């Protein structure tokens, strides 16, 4: 059998690939819920919040080409909105999700408007200022946010009676976060595949050409900032649900850099790359630090802070080996075995007959002038 094997999208073979992929994802989720300790499940819940935040950043940076180093601020807006509404106004967590999403959308649009006049490093500096200013503003308005001490939310998150098996409160928090993430991924995927997504990609690759083709640079860029910030804020709500406490230093510059690193590691302009990036930035430093704390050494070092250095080293290696990220490398390797191609539109039998005749008439020389003597 010759490789790679060509599979038409929408065919039975393609459906099998999709079913296998979803089955593996479902198996991984069930393994976390029923096979992990509560402390590890909490780490996975935090990773889900990072995954959603990186997904939002991908819409801004990956698909529209706008460099944003202030995504931690939008992540923090969602986290604080949920914490304040639940702790001070006794809102249900589910009602805080649309409120935080709307707030993130409005703030993202407000940031996106002035960002239209600046590009590249200048835009990066402006968004960097947002990441630096957010913790300061949170500490300044301590009557609302709790200041440097942060804000703690007390709630019970017991699973419903219809959930099978021994599911703890932390397990149900993780399941809730996963369900919210699925909705966010569905929205982002549909957006990328729609006219809006194609317009964003066109603007990223060739802004002048896209504008000539009818794509509005201003409208599409502001929309990308607003939607990406909205999804990032939803990630913040999941974070509040997972940890129960928010503090200003959690949403500073370091968090923004981690989001950018997760985006690059997972794969820029790939929807599924956000999953890989979120898991890496949550678990790789933690596992390395835990390894050192257990009495081991890495390259002769026994300082847990070496984990951050190794994360940077890992990022450099990935950039050299897989410039498009881990998901890009996986797709490249998969293309050696199987290639998915789009399904071509069907042509009716009458059109098949008409098209050759039309082509022949167009190709045939006009003999009227030759026979009629008009020339």
Residues 6+ apart with CB under 8 A from 317: none
Rg (C-alpha) for the chain, rounded Å, is: 26
> pLDDT tens-digit profile of 244-263?
999 999 999 999 999 999 99
Q: How many domains does the chain have?
A: 1
> Residue 351 has what pLDDT?
55
Domain residues for the domain of 172 are: 5-350
Say what percent of the chain tops pLDDT 70: 90
Query: What is the reported pLDDT for 354?
Result: 52
E-only strand ranges, the chain: 5-8, 151-152, 245-246, 338-341
Contact 19, 12 (CB under 8 A): no
Q: Give the CA distances from residue 327 to residues 6, 91, 322, 340, in Å, rounded to whole numbers and listed in that order.
A: 20, 39, 9, 16
The model carries a pTM of: 0.89
Q: Is residue 50 part of a domain?
A: yes
The answer to whether residue 38 sits within a structural domain is: yes
Please name which of 85, 97, 242 lies closest in space to residue 169, comparing C-alpha atoms: 242
Question: Do the domain assignments include residue 364?
Answer: no
Establish if 357 belongs to a structural domain.
no
Given a cut of 50, the residues of the chain with pLDDT beneath it are 353, 355, 358-360, 362-375
What pLDDT is recorded for position 370?
A: 43
Asked if residue 295 is part of any domain, the answer here is: yes
Specify if 362 maps to a domain.
no
* Residue 335 placed within a domain: yes
DSSP string, 328-339: HHHHHHHTTTEE
Domain with 230 in it: what CATH number? Answer: 1.10.3470
Q: What is the pLDDT of residues 90-122, one digit of tens each?
A: 999 999 999 999 999 999 999 888 877 787 888
- pLDDT of 346 reads 67
What is d(CA 231, CA 52) in angstroms, rounded to the nearest whole number?
Answer: 7
359 occurs within a structural domain: no
């Amino acid at each position: 059998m010759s490789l790679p094997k060509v599979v038409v999208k929408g065919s039975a073979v393609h459906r099998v690939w999709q079913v296998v992929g979803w089955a593996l994802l479902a198996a991984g989720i069930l393994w976390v819920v029923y096979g992990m300790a509560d402390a590890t499940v909490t780490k996975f819940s935090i990773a889900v919040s990072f995954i959603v935040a990186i997904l939002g950043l991908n819409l801004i940076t990956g698909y529209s080409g706008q460099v944003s180093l202030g995504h931690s601020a939008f992540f923090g807006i969602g986290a604080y909105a949920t914490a304040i509404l639940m702790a001070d106004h006794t809102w249900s967590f589910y009602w805080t999700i649309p409120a935080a999403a709307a707030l993130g959308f409005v703030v993202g649009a407000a940031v996106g408007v002035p960002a239209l006049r600046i590009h590249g490093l200048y835009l990066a500096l402006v968004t960097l200022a947002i990441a630096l200013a957010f913790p300061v503003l949170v500490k300044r308005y301590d009557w609302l946010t709790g200041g440097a001490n942060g804000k703690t939310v007390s709630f019970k998150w017991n699973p419903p009676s219809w959930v099978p098996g021994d599911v703890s409160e932390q397990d149900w928090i993780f399941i809730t976060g996963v369900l919210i993430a699925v909705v966010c991924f569905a929205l982002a995927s549909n957006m990328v595949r729609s006219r809006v997504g194609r317009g964003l990609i066109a603007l990223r690759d060739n802004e002048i050409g896209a504008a000539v083709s009818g794509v509005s640079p201003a409208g599409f860029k502001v929309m990308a900032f607003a939607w990406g910030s909205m999804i990032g804020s939803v990630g913040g709500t999941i974070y509040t649900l997972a940890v129960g406490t928010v503090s200003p230093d959690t949403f500073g510059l370091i968090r923004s850099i981690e989001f950018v690193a997760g985006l690059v590691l997972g794969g820029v302009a790939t929807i599924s790359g956000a999953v890989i990036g979120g898991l890496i930035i949550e678990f790789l430093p933690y596992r390395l630090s835990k390894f050192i704390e257990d009495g081991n050494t890495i390259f002769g070092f026994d300082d847990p802070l070496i984990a951050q250095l190794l994360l940077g080293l890992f990022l450099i290696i990935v950039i050299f080996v897989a410039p498009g990220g881990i998901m890009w490398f996986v797709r490249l390797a998969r293309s050696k075995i199987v290639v998915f191609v789009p399904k071509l539109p069907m042509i009716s039998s009458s059109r098949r007959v008409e098209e050759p005749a039309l082509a022949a008439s167009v190709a045939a020389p006009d003999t009227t002038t030759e026979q009629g003597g008009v020339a």
